[in-house]
Each structure stands twice: as structure tokens, then as C-alpha cells.
Amino acid sequence: MKVQLTDKALRWRIDERELAALLAGDPVSLAPCAGALGLACLLALSDDDTPRFDPTAGRWSLRLPRALVEAHVATLPSREGVRVDIGALSFLFEVDVRESVRAGRSRAPAR
């Protein structure tokens, strides 16, 4: 997983292996995601309809609605991500499907 702060959003990008884990119900984590700051990042799915961001000390946790992520998976491969706004913050969720495209597959891994 890669987490990147851009001028427009906080971008969360995962690969297909991490997507498979996420769809299986396992959270995906990156620790530390800010080097010397000791900040860990956690991405998980929830059955709620509303995305949630919990920026506690030492950990940023983003929970996305499962239905939203599954709808996005159905469009893969795609260069487009899913953008969600939580309060004044914007988040971009993306799946890197380059490995499947290189291998000639047209979809992300099935769950």
C-alpha cells in the first residue's frame, strides 16, 4: 500500500494482492507510512454506507464502504480511482492492476 498526500487529496493505492486481502475482510496496513514520524496507516472495509477516517495519534485509519469498493472492482482495469469526501478532506482510493494487464488478464483477482 502507498499513501500519498497531494494538493487535492490523500491518495491510498493498493496492489491486487492487497485488494484480495481487503475483499477477504483483512485490513491492509502500512507501518510506518511517514518514516521518522512513526505514523501507521490502516485501510479496511466496512458494511456502513459512509466512509470514515480516524486520524488518531500514530495511526491514520480509513474505512471504506464494502459496496463502494466492490463496485469499483467491477470496473477494473481502470485508471480511475474512487474519490470520497469526509468533512473537508478528500480521499482517493486506487488499485494498481498493472500485473494483471501485463499478464493479459482483464479483471482484478476474484474474491
Q: pLDDT tens digits for 39-82?
A: 889 999 999 999 999 998 888 999 999 999 999 999 998 889 99
What's residue 105's pLDDT? 56
What's residue 111's pLDDT? 47
Q: Is the pTM of this model over 0.85?
A: no
Cα distance between residue 74 and residue 81, in whole Å: 12
> In this model, does residue 109 exceed pLDDT 60?
no
| The one-letter amino acid at 71 | A
Look up cell 459512509; give the residue: 50
Enter the C-alpha cell of residue 73.
472492482
Domains and CATH numbers, the chain: 2-104 (3.30.1360)
89-96 sheet: strands from edge to edge? 2-5, 10-15, 89-96, 82-86
